[in-house]
Structure 1
Amino acid sequence: MEGIQIAKESDARGSFCPGPLMEMIRLVRSANVGDVVAVISGDEGSKKDIPAWINKAHYELVGTEEVAPGATRFLCRKNH
């Protein structure tokens, strides 16, 4: 995700559901409106849970990217 400035990031690899999702919630709550926060997760359930929560909370899923085999970075913009 070139060109996107990440304000805060948490590496939650090794943490299992709901750990990575709770990290995303914590980061978003501590961020300023307009900030992009990111969580890296190796938990397969995160691929469904984190985007679903971002949508439900009416934030913006900026994108996802594989950063290592079995590890996905989820980027979320706090827009309200």
Structure 2
Amino acid sequence: MDFTNINPEQVLNTCGLSCPMPLLKTKKALKGMKSGQILEILGNDPGSKNDIPTWGNKGSNEFLGMTDIDDGVTRYFIKKG
């Protein structure tokens, strides 16, 4: 998937945080967003590669995908349901 055309309403940087903090911060950020808005999460915790996609598809939210970028950082995209 081409993520260059996604314009998230909010970007959450969880780099340097370890499990479970990236997921907890993601949940909190999504709570404050409106339905249809997109959250981009930046993170470098290896556990997040499983946690965020799995959780991102729960409820009415939609996990749009993830891509690795420089220095071990991964970008995740979730659309609030």
| TM-score normalised according to structure 1 size | 0.90
Q: Which residue of 1 aligns with 2:75?
A: 73
List structure 1 segments (4+ residues) > 6 angstroms apart after TM superposition: none
Unaligned 5+ residue runs, structure 1? none
2:78 counterpart of 1:64? no
Q: Which residue of 2 aligns with 1:50?
A: 52
Contact map agreement 1:24 1:38 (CA 8 A) in 2: no
% identical equivalent positions: 29
Q: Amino acid of the residue matched to residue 63 of structure 2? A: L
Query: Structure 2 CA distance, aligned partners of 1:63 and 1:76?
Result: 8
Q: Deviations over 1:8-54 (max 9, x none)?
A: 11111100001111121111111111100011110000000011111
Q: Amino acid of the residue matched to residue 6 of structure 2? A: I
Q: Equivalent of 1:10, from 9, 12, 15?
A: 12
Match of 1:69, SS state, is helix
Superposed CA RMSD in Å reads: 1.1
Contact map agreement 2:42 2:74 (CA 8 A) in 1: yes
Unaligned 5+ residue runs, structure 2? none
Aligned residues: 79
After TM superposition, the structure 1 stretch with the greater mean CA deviation from structure 2, 37-46 or 65-74, is: 65-74
Would you tell me which structure has more strand in proportion to its own residues? 1
